[in-house]
Amino acid sequence: MSGHLYGRTPKVTTSIDSKISDALGITQNIVEEIIDPKPLIPRPDGALREATSRDADIDVDYQYSRENFYSLIERGQDAITGILDLAKESEHPRTYEVAGQLIKTVSEVTERLADLQQKMQFLKDVPDKAPQNVTNALFIGSTAELQKLMKQEKNEAIEVKESET
């Protein structure tokens, strides 16, 4: 036996893909092009070290997040271009659906970048906008505690006057 089913040797045939391509009149000359992805953004030098102050830590995190958001947006735009080209070629509803989802995702990342900018601005403005003088103090407690506190202050004031005279 030759090792094949029913002891016969198979006849030499072309692959199923070539048969289909011949039947549909499609050429087999497909050129694969490998596109180098955009390089990853390395972490900033200060990202792995402990920052000496809160402000330096915030600045390092902000810069790193900002660069990552820009990278995600750029890669998303490249993916959108590719998926839209594919959708035009195939005219399949699913590719248009995927393109729509990808556009939505890229727009969400863009919104996050804007939110990051607003939060950073808020963090930098907080120390300047803090109240400098407190004119109205509010006591939180029961009336009994307030009376006790006022009585204690009155007794201390009387003791100070007596010690002065």
What residue spans define the domains of the chain? Answer: 5-164
**The predicted structure's pLDDT at residue 2:** 47
Residue 102 has pLDDT above 60, yes or no: yes
**The predicted structure's pLDDT at residue 114:** 92
Specify the DSSP element, H or E, that contains 94: helix 93-129
Alpha-carbon distance of 150 to 163, in angstroms, equals 20
Residue 5 has pLDDT above 90, yes or no: no
Residue 29 has pLDDT above 90, yes or no: no
**The predicted structure's pLDDT at residue 23:** 79
Residue 49 has pLDDT above 70, yes or no: no
**The predicted structure's pLDDT at residue 1:** 45
- Residue 120's nearest CA partner among 69, 72, 59, 51 is 59
Question: Between 145 and 23, whose confidence is greater?
Answer: 145
Residue 105 has pLDDT above 70, yes or no: yes
> What are the pLDDT digits (tens) for 108-126?
999 999 999 898 888 777 6
Range 59-83 average pLDDT = 90
Alpha-carbon distance of 165 to 163, in angstroms, equals 6
Question: Between 2 and 155, whose confidence is greater?
Answer: 155
Question: Between 48 and 42, whose confidence is greater?
Answer: 42
Range 130-151 average pLDDT = 79
pLDDT tier, 39 (very low <50, low <70, confident <90, very high otherwise): low
